[in-house]
Amino acid sequence: MEMLGAILELGKTILAPISEYYKYHRSVDEHMKNLKRKRDDLECKKSDIESKMRAELLPRKKPKREVEFWLQKVKTINVEIQNTEQEAERGKYFSRMHVGKIACQKIQEVTELIDQSCGFGESLVIDPPVSYGDELPTRALVGERTAEITMEKIWKHLLDEDCGMIGVRGMGGVGKTTIMKQINNRLLKERDKFNHVIWVTVSKAFDVIKLQNEIASMLHPNPLKSEDETTRAGKLYAALKEMKKCVLILDDLWNAFPLENIGIPEPTSENGCKLVLTTRDAKVCDGMNCKTIKVELLSIKESHDLFLKTVGCDVSNIPEDVVEGVVKQCARLPLAIITIAGSLKNVVDVFEWRNTLNELRKSTKGSAHVDAPVFKSLQFSYVRLKDKKLQDCLLCCALYPEDYEIYRDELIEHLIGEKVIESMKSRQEELDQGHTLLNKLENACLLEGGSKYVEKRRFVKMHDLIRDMALQIAGAKFLVLEDVPNEEEWGNDVEKVSLMCKRGSKFPDVSPKCPKLSTLLLRGYVKIIPDSFFVHLHGLRVLHVDCLEFKSLPNSVSDLKHLTSLRLNNYDLKCVPSLAKLTALRSLDLSGGSLEEMPRDLQMLVNLRYLNVGSFITNQEKMPPGILPELCQLQVLKLPLFCLEVNGEEMVRLKKLESFEGAFDGVKGFNTYVESLEEGGPSHYTYVVNEKKPASQLGVAELGESVILSDCNICLLPKDVRALIICESIIYGMKVIFGESWKKSVWFKKGCEEIEYINSYFETFSLRSLEILDLFGLNNLKGLFREERVAPAPVVPLGTFSRLKQFSISVCRNIKKLFTPGLMQNLENIDVYNCTQLEEIIGGSEASDEVEEEEAKEIVKIFPRLRNLRLQYLPELKTICSSSNVILCDSLNYIEISGCPKLKRLPLSLHLIDGELSSPPSSLQIRIKKERWESLEWDNHDMKIVLEPFIEWSQ
């Protein structure tokens, strides 16, 4: 009997998978029909939710995060169902079981998504966090007494209930913008005065739609979509009307306008709003019915002090009358003083000072467009550069629109195309020279530097007066207009043309004859460029087109044989004409479009150094064979990461490559390329391999700036990896990769379901270099660190996560504790979302009562650099940290607590000064429900009172 029982059990074991195979194989058609019905149900639910959400998205509302995640999941599963349907249509016999099994799984997932949609509550939207405004970078006030008097006048009128509109006027370069930036930042510090501060730079080229867009871009969410000015004005009016006690600052206004045309509510004592504008023209203040405040010139003493401070060296050996003579030539104007003094930095030779004074006295007296005292000082600074490359670089910047933030990398590419930067041995040498030129112009106070976005992309800006001066110096050689001129307006001597077309303007049917034209920049919303336009422009070397509403270039571009730089930044671009004749081309940038296929005759561009095809290629999955081996001069190659693959053997031919972003067609090709690299290969790269292979077979452990491995089971990472992103959602992953953290990053899209602890999964190295850790949808994740039973605390390699600045975890259902005490001291951002079992942010280790009592005597400060803390939809969260831990508010900027019903303590603390709590940072924002705030327990009840003014109550 025992033998018979064993045989029966063995039979069950053998027959079970056969039975399962047969069930899926036999019923695949039925499963697919059920899946399609479920998918249709899901689509109906999705449509209903999107319709309801659109109806609820009034101004100042935004979708709930859980709704956004749900919609992303629906998109993802629709793609997966489509792939399953395609496999079913192929009808291969042995794949039927697999299709049936997948269909059953997808039916269950779709059912879960439909069930989840029932838990969104009555509303799908929430009020966003209040934006008080942005602190603006600014230099210190010049002319302390004069500027402070002006500032106090402005401040007094801002606090005057009967004064709704204030006009700050003064000549160009006198410091109006600097003063108003100081006012803007002061308003942000003294939040009890106003609720919102909005800054918009208007500039000379006034346009209703542009101004509406600028204002709307500062609102969350942006209320404008309609193209009709009147409808847009109504929507903007409704959004701004809700914002009580709002200060709107319009900088550099050149024309008066009726407020209702834009959609700006009239400032009144009832709504507590203010409108402040800066302008050079007193008539603008009168036309806007403002209370006018004039910004005066500096006093003689202030001029002298500012000049000596900017020169930055000892001038005691320079005769006093020479120094004062130079200062006098600056006409007490801050911009003129700064530029002239900047040109004399560290100059101690008396002969050079005397020569400077003589040249200033002889310089041009200005024109109708630039104030005479300003123009002659700015022109002198230009002449004093004495380096044609620097002068040409400055003039090139004047081709860009007023107040335009010119990205350094794009400008340097422009300068290479113009041959301002000559061809060198390597691309890096050319970039180094470009940055050196721009740094020198910044040091000479002729350009302003800055950076934006999280990736810190650097840019330069020209003061509008310096731009006017540069255009006057260029004269007839430059043509910079807002619209395409008629044929008779194109001069025979014009060398560089920049056309910034207004929105919706039609490109005229012209065929200019400009034999000397070498540079053409087209910017705006041009619908079509006629084929005749380029027929006579045979000398063109640089052609940059930044437009939106055309799908192809005219065929006449194919005959521009001398073209060295071609950039097409156009999201609607589908194709480009033949490039066969453009053999002089050194730089080709097609990063802005959505091309149907790679350009024809690309292999003919044998002199190409820079190729950027970062857009999507809709009809091609692989780079056509034979192209890359011909482009052996390439130094930079940027290709789409997820829709165009390259052959590794062809990549081997690119020996001069310094920077690469792209996807390989498989592990074999990737390994072939890696093995061919000499001295590490490109210094900047993003490699993508789309295969299910372990990292040990990819050869990437020692390689590295950025490696993205999709659908892989990975155990090794590059030594200098900065960001680790592990997620199960392709949409979420794409958002992260193309956001702030793709540099030096590794992304795991799938194949990571089994991860329980991060440190044990990546046990071959210490994660010391990580700055960003982003985890999403890891249902088996139990913790960041595996705890050893025999040890009182987790065993963590020294230095693990010691550089981590940003931590994000979402939809990880099983994790109960995040951090270990004593680690993560450099964290700046913590974002925890929808982890349903999470109980602790920092878990306390088990210890004896004596140890606990000893530890309780000392308060330990955690997360000393924390700036942002978001805890959302954590139903089991009980504590952030133990009672002996506190988070100092010194660096905190934003806190959001929502969906955490069991959280009892908010461990915030402030320094004690003379027995009283210090003030929190002025930028601090706390978003929380009022009832949750009232239920929190506090170590010091005074903390609650001090922090309440910084709260924005959530719904």
Q: Which tens digits make up the pLDDT trace of 471-503? A: 888 988 999 887 788 888 888 889 999 987 765
Confidence tier at 616 by pLDDT (50, 70, 90): low
Mean local confidence (pLDDT), 685-704: 42
Confidence of residue 930 (pLDDT cuts 50, 70, 90): confident
- Token pair, residue 159, equals 């606090």
Q: Is the pLDDT of residue 677 over 50?
A: yes
d(CA 148, CA 733): 50
Check whether 453 has a pLDDT greater than 60.
no
- Residues 202-211, mean pLDDT to the nearest whole number: 80
What pLDDT is stored for residue 331 in this prediction?
A: 79
Percent of the chain with pLDDT over 70: 76
Instruction: Assign 681 a pLDDT band (cuts: 50, 70, 90).
Output: low
- Res 93 pLDDT > 50: no
Least confident range from 160-169, 570-579, 700-709: namely 700-709
- The predicted pLDDT at position 142 comes to 63
The residues spanned by each domain of the chain are: 1-126, 144-294, 298-386, 388-473, 763-845+858-954
pLDDT at 217: 79
Question: Residue 804 and residue 816: Cα distance in Å, rounded?
Answer: 21
Q: What is the mean pLDDT of residues 124-141?
A: 69
Rounded to the nearest angstrom, the gap between the alpha carbon of residue 162 and the centroid of all alpha carbons in its chain is 40
Q: Is the pLDDT of residue 689 over 60?
A: no
- C-alpha 556 chain-centroid distance: 36
Sheet holding 196-201, edge to edge: 196-201, 246-251, 274-279, 165-169, 291-294
Q: Which residues pair with 200 in a beta bridge?
A: 250
**pLDDT band at residue 712, thresholds of 50, 70 and 90?**
very low
Lowest mean pLDDT among 84-88, 103-107, 311-315, 887-891: 84-88
| pLDDT digit string, tens, across residues 234-279 | 888 888 888 888 999 999 898 899 999 999 999 998 888 999 999 9
Alpha-carbon distance of 832 to 844, in angstroms, equals 19
Token representation of residue 682: 């490109």
Q: What is the mean pLDDT of residues 760-785?
A: 72
Are 351 and 390 within 8 A, CB to CB? no
Phi, psi at residue 23, to the nearest 5°? -60, -50
Question: Under 8 Å CB-to-CB from 938, ≥6 apart: which residues?
Answer: 905, 906, 944
Tell me which of 56-70, 321-335, 593-607 is least confident. 56-70
Residues facing 552 on adjacent strands: 575
Give CATH superfamily name and number for 144-294.
P-loop containing nucleotide triphosphate hydrolases (3.40.50.300)
pLDDT of amino acid 14: 47
Task: Indicate the pLDDT class of residue 531, thresholds 50, 70 and 90.
Answer: confident
| Confidence check: pLDDT of 544 > 50 | yes
Closest CA to 584 of 613, 559, 606, 611: 606
Q: Place 838 in a pLDDT band, splitting at 50, 70 and 90.
A: very high
Greater confidence (464 vs 222) lies with 464
Residue 12's H or E segment, with its range, is helix 2-26
> What's the pLDDT score for residue 752?
61
What would the DSSP string read from start to end of 496-563? EEEEEPPTTPPPP------TT--EEEEES--S---GGGGTT-TT--EEEEE-SS-SB--GGGGG-TT-
Q: If DSSP codes are grouped into helix, strand and coil, which group holds residue 440? A: helix
**What does R_g of the chain's alpha carbons equal in angstroms?**
32
Quick one: pLDDT at residue 525? 58
Bigger pLDDT: 57 vs 260: 260
Q: pLDDT grade, residue 945 (50/70/90)?
A: confident
For 935, counting Cβ atoms within 10 Å of its Cβ (0-12 exposed, 13-18 middle, 19+ buried), the class is: exposed
**What's the pLDDT at 460?**
92
Report the pLDDT value the prediction gives residue 450, as an integer from 0 to 100.
Answer: 82
Strands 457-461 and 406-407: antiparallel
- The H-assigned helical ranges of 655-791 are 667-676, 730-737, 758-761
pLDDT tens digit sequence for 101-116: 778 888 888 888 888 8
pLDDT at residue number 157: 92
pLDDT-derived band of residue 910, with 50, 70 and 90 as boundaries? Answer: confident
Per-residue model confidence (pLDDT) at position 785: 74
In the structure encoding, which two tokens stand for residue 784, read together?
A: 């960041």
Which of 837, 832, 831, 769 minimizes the C-alpha distance to 800? Answer: 769
The model carries a pTM of 0.63
Question: Average pLDDT for residues 373-402, to the nearest whole number?
Answer: 85
CA distances from 556 to 534, 538, 540, 561, 582 (A): 6, 10, 12, 11, 12
Cis peptide before 921 (omega within 30 of 0): no
> Between 321 and 753, whose confidence is greater?
321
Angle of helix 408-417 relative to helix 427-443, nearest 10 degrees?
110
Please list, residue by residue across 475-510, b when 16 or more beta carbons sit within 10 angstroms of its beta carbon and e when fewer do.
eebbbbeeebbeeeebbeebbbbbbbbeeeeebeee
What is the pLDDT of the chain when averaged over all its residues?
78
pLDDT of residue 420: 93
Residue 855: the pLDDT is 47
The confidence band for 73, taking pLDDT boundaries of 50, 70 and 90, is confident
Q: In which band, very low, low, confident or very high, does the pLDDT at 364 lie, cut at 50, 70 and 90?
A: very low
Asked if pLDDT for residue 559 goes beyond 80, the answer is yes
Asked whether residue 602 carries a pLDDT value surpassing 80, the answer given is yes
Q: Percentage of the chain with pLDDT > 90? A: 17
> What's residue 700's pLDDT?
37
Q: Residue 676: pLDDT above 50?
A: yes
| Residue 605 CB coordination number (10 Å) | 24
User: What is the mean pLDDT of the segment spanning 362-390?
Assistant: 69
- Band (724; pLDDT cuts 50, 70, 90): confident
Of residues 207 and 367, more confidence is placed in 207
Write the DSSP string, 272-319: T-EEEEEES-HHHHHHTT-EEEE-PPPPHHHHHHHHHHHH-S--TTS-
For the domain 298-386, what is the CATH superfamily, name and number?
Helical domain of apoptotic protease-activating factors (1.10.8.430)
The reported pLDDT for the residue numbered 673 is: 76
Work out the pLDDT band at 702, boundaries 50, 70, 90: very low
Mean pLDDT of 33-59: 79
Q: What is the DSSP letter of 225?
A: -
Is domain 388-473 in CATH 1.10.10.10, yes or no?
yes
- Asked whether the predicted pLDDT for residue 353 surpasses 50, the reply is yes
Identify the pLDDT of residue 741: 40
Residue 688: per-residue pLDDT: 58
Q: What is the pLDDT of residue 394?
A: 94
Burial code of 280-294, b = ≥16 C-beta within 10 A, e = fewer?
beeebbebbebbbbe
Higher per-residue confidence, 269 vs 694: 269
